[in-house]
Amino acid sequence: MYEVIFDEKAIESLEKLEHKIKERIFEKIISTKEKPFHYFERLTKRDEYKLRVGGYRVIADIDKTKKRIHVLAISHRKNIYKRYF
8-52 pLDDT per residue, tens: 999 999 999 999 999 999 999 999 999 999 999 999 999 999 999
> Does domain 3-84 match CATH 3.30.2310.20?
yes
Residue 84 pLDDT more than 90? Answer: no
Nearest in space to 25 (alpha carbons), one of 16, 14, 35, 34: 14
Residue 66 pLDDT more than 90? Answer: yes
